[in-house]
Structure 1
């Protein structure tokens, strides 16, 4: 699990697979990651056509360095099987990950893993397609540790608080909004998902904030997710891309300080010392671990 591909996931942009115009805008956006949606954003009558539109977009648009993902319908639906086969057969060579919706247990992830393995062999693909998993049912949260270890294709766990709210019976005005609850109603779910992800060597990503016109609200939720160790958040509108990139990136001052601390510690270590003071901060091996987290992010994001 720890040798998985490292991908930026600061901003995951949702794009309806039924709209050629939106697919083109997604490819041209500044988001790290774009997922072409076959699930909630696509009407049942449009799903078959949307598969072909997504395949065309993956094969023909310039996605730059973005992670190219397709969100499929869940395994209990009549669409899931053909979602996987059609998209992989027509555009598997240009697909980075598949996002699995509404799993209840590890068995659902294993189903997708096995299908991908068969298709990769059949098509003789020279690259593996990764899996991203949405935790959006109470059963999935109860089984999140098992899910996180279910496949070596797994790259990240995503908190889907919209369907999760419905699954738990949470009364909320809008997706991502805590409603009248006096604290952070999603704290436990985010914390548990992040813990499970980190223990398995995966990324944890926060889900949508529906009121895209409320920049302060989006930023507040993103900061809560970041403080727990999540690496990014969904953007359901282009207005949410820039704040997500900003919040989940270490700023220039933090990167410069981390580089200074790492260099000072290395010098101290060469002298047989276990700690060194840098700008009033004691840097030892424990602090160095935090420093490296910052530097790893800076390197991944090209900062």
Structure 2
């Protein structure tokens, strides 16, 4: 299974950061040619990133390139540079407003930055696009466009987060939560990771390596959850041998829907073990 607990943004213009990323304990990397790169460095960053992705072994990490928008002078060339690049697993498109924005040449999986009000209203159609692999929340831009204020409970983002999660799950796509800007505030990051995990996100986008431990831990099954999953499966299978459709464990009913979740929990735990 694709692990997306920790998705780290790396500037595409910084050779040292691009090299260091190969040794960081993140599940995925977004190599950023958009917000993290100044206009005067865009072309050089594109060339540097293409070279680094050919030369550096990033191991099992998912490698996404966030290109510049289609309306910019760099967008089309960015897409062309990485559409068939063997070191790239997918292209992340900014400011996706509707499914037509995903109609691009090539066969590389596409990811959509969900960061505008129009994207929220079109989330279902975007998630249904056949080339789309996942949605990435752009919560900073969404807050700005909504005129909402940041709150620890993210009340202003609740509708957008929910719409994107519903769309992703309806169409079997991945969904990654937005960044937490105060990268030194690990307690605040942990609280937001817990919220995102409990909502249903697969992981969180991050802006600093110091945030990796928190995201990896929160979005991984705990030992208690793994133990419960194993016991649920065992209890359900034992009940099935008796011709019963449900089991009882710790005073609670265990049905087939719980077994689906339990097996997913064990699959995720095995995938994490494989990464380490």
TM-score band w.r.t. shorter chain = over 0.9
Q: TM-score, normalised by structure 1?
A: 0.86
Distance between the aligned counterparts of 1:169 and 1:284, measured in 2?
A: 44
| Structure 2 partner of 1:158 | 136
Is residue 171 of structure 2 the alignment partner of residue 217 of structure 1? no
Q: CA deviation at 1:184?
A: 2.3
Equivalent residue in structure 1 for 2:151, among 173, 178, 185: 178
| Structure 1 partner of 2:106 | 116
| Structure 2 partner of 1:168 | 146
Distance between the aligned counterparts of 1:189 and 1:205, measured in 2?
A: 13
Change (3 A) 1:278 1:214: same
Is residue 56 of structure 2 the alignment partner of residue 78 of structure 1? no
Distance between the aligned counterparts of 1:154 and 1:298, measured in 2?
A: 25
Distance between the aligned counterparts of 2:246 and 2:111, measured in 1?
A: 39
Task: Say whether the 8 Å CA contact 1:190–1:225 is kept in structure 2.
Answer: no
Distance between the aligned counterparts of 1:278 and 1:138, measured in 2?
A: 44
Distance between the aligned counterparts of 1:285 and 1:209, measured in 2?
A: 36
Q: Secondary structure at the match of 2:205?
A: strand
Deviations 1:220-261 (A, max 9, x none): 111111111101001100011110000000012211220121
| Structure 1 residues 264-283: aligned runs within 5 Å | 264-283=235-254
Equivalent residue in structure 2 for 1:130, among 109, 115, 120: 109
Q: CA deviation at 1:183?
A: 6.3
Is residue 34 of structure 2 the alignment partner of residue 39 of structure 1? yes
Distance between the aligned counterparts of 1:198 and 1:291, measured in 2?
A: 18
| Structure 2 partner of 1:63 | 58
Distance between the aligned counterparts of 1:101 and 1:10, measured in 2?
A: 21
Q: Structure 2 regions of 5+ residues with no counterpart? A: none
Distance between the aligned counterparts of 1:25 and 1:170, measured in 2?
A: 36
Distance between the aligned counterparts of 1:178 and 1:73, measured in 2?
A: 29
Task: Say whether the 8 Å CA contact 2:112–2:135 is kept in structure 1.
Answer: yes
Q: Secondary structure at the match of 1:45?
A: helix
Distance between the aligned counterparts of 2:248 and 2:122, measured in 1?
A: 44
Q: Secondary structure at the match of 2:220?
A: coil
Equivalent residue in structure 2 for 1:187, among 141, 152, 158: 158
Q: Secondary structure at the match of 2:83?
A: helix
Q: CA deviation at 1:210?
A: 0.8
Q: TM-score, normalised by structure 2?
A: 0.94
Q: Secondary structure at the match of 1:99?
A: strand
Distance between the aligned counterparts of 1:198 and 1:60, measured in 2?
A: 36
Q: Secondary structure at the match of 2:133?
A: strand
Deviations 1:67-104 (A, max 9, x none): 11100111111111000112335xx1111111111011
Distance between the aligned counterparts of 2:117 and 2:128, measured in 1?
A: 18
